[in-house]
Amino acid sequence: MNDEAVTLDPTGRARKMATIIYALQAASFIFGLTAIIGIILNYLKADLVKGTFVESHFRWQRRTFWFGLFWSILGGITFTFVIGYFILVLTGIWLIYRIVNGWLKLSENRPMYLR
């Protein structure tokens, strides 16, 4: 009989949750509202990531959502002017960068905000 204890890896669970949230953020380009589900999960599961490198990813995801929402609303309001179009395009590019960059660093087990 194997005497090794089965342990739950909190970092593994936290990584899985961060991966799900990145996927929901990415899916929002197609389905729209999945980013809202992602931000809700982010806040609900914040205790799961405390003290792990994944905590920095959760912060990155929150900032991505809130700043993206702000710039999207501003771009939508000013869309009738030419500047709104550029704001929306740049916001989309910025969101793609944030999601891809965060997801890649997560897959490498690296925290965000380190140079």
Amino acid code (one letter) for 14: A
Give me the percent of the chain exceeding a pLDDT of 70: 90
CA distance 68 to 14: 23
DSSP state for residue 51 in the 8-state scheme: T
pLDDT above 90: percentage of residues in the chain = 84
Separation between Cα atoms, residue 106 and residue 88, nearest integer Å: 27
User: pTM of the entire structure?
Assistant: 0.86
Q: Read off the pLDDT of residues 26-65 as tens digits, 9 standing for 90 and up.
A: 999 999 899 999 999 999 999 999 999 999 999 999 999 9
Domain coordinates in residue numbering, the chain: 10-107
Q: What tens digit of pLDDT does each residue of 67-99 get?
A: 999 999 999 999 999 999 999 999 999 999 999
